Structure 1
Amino acid sequence: MKIDAHQHFWKYDPVNYAWIDDSMSTIQKDFLPMHLAPVLKNNDFDASVLVQVNQTEEENDYFLDFAAKNDFIKAVIGWIDFKAADLDTRLASYANKPKLKGFRHIVQGEADDFLLDETFTQGLAKLATLDFTYDILIFERQLKAALKFVRKLPNNKLIIDHIAKPEIKHQSVNKWSNYMNAISEHENVYVKVSGMVTEADTKNWKKEDFTIYLDHVLSSFGTKRIVYGSDWPVCLVAATYEEQLDIVQTYFSKLSKTEQADIFGLNAQRFYNI
Structure 2
Amino acid sequence: MRIDAHQHFWVFDPVRDSWIDDSMLVIRKDFLPKDLKPILKANNIDGCIAVQADQSETETNFLLQSAADNPFIKGVVGWVDLCNKNVDERLKHFAQNKLFKGVRHIVQAETEDFVLRNDFLNGISKLSKYNLVYDILVFPNQLENVIKMVAKFPEQQFVLDHIAKPKISEGLIANTNWKTNIKRLASYKNVSCKVSGMVTETQDFKWEEKDFHEFLNVTVEAFGVDRLLFGSDWPVCLLAGAYQDVLHIVEDFFNSFSIEEINKIMGANAVRIYNLNN
Q: TM-score, normalised by structure 2?
A: 0.97
Give distance in 2, aligned partners of 1:116 and 1:166.
22
Matched residue, 1:176: 178
Matching residue's letter, 2:254 = F
Matched residue, 1:154: 154
Give distance in 1, aligned partners of 2:256 and 2:22.
39
Give distance in 1, aligned partners of 2:197 and 2:205.
15
Matching residue's letter, 1:95 = A
Cα shift readout 1:24-58 (whole Å, capped 9, x = no counterpart): 11101110000000000000000000000110011
Q: What are the within-5 Å matches in structure 2 for residues 51-90 of structure 1?
A: 51-90=51-90
The count of residues paired between Structure 1 and Structure 2 equals 274
Cα shift readout 1:103-144 (whole Å, capped 9, x = no counterpart): 000000011111111220122111012101100000111111
Cα shift readout 1:37-91 (whole Å, capped 9, x = no counterpart): 0000000000000000110011111111100100000000000111212112111
Matched residue, 1:253: 255
Distance 1:203 1:92, change over 3 A: closer
Matched residue, 2:198: 196
Unaligned runs of 5+ in 1: none
Question: Is the partner of 1:4 in helix, strand or coil?
Answer: strand
**Are 2:78 and 2:103, in contact at CA under 8 Å, matched by a contact in 1?**
yes
Give distance in 1, aligned partners of 2:212 and 2:131.
33
Question: Is the partner of 1:102 in helix, strand or coil?
Answer: strand
Matched residue, 1:263: 265
Matched residue, 1:224: 226
Matching residue's letter, 1:157 = Q
Matched, 1:103 2:89: no
Once the 2 structures are TM-superposed, how far is the Cα of residue 202 of structure 1 from its aligned partner? Answer: 3.9
Matched residue, 1:234: 236
Matching residue's letter, 2:207 = W
Cα shift readout 1:128-175 (whole Å, capped 9, x = no counterpart): 121011000001111111111111111100000000001112223311
Give distance in 2, aligned partners of 1:80 and 1:114.
16
Matched residue, 1:15: 15
Matching residue's letter, 1:101 = K
Matched residue, 1:5: 5
Q: Which 4+ residue blocks in structure 1 deviate beyond 4 angstroms?
A: none
Matched residue, 1:113: 113
Give distance in 2, aligned partners of 1:189 and 1:137.
13
Q: TM-score, normalised by structure 1?
A: 0.98
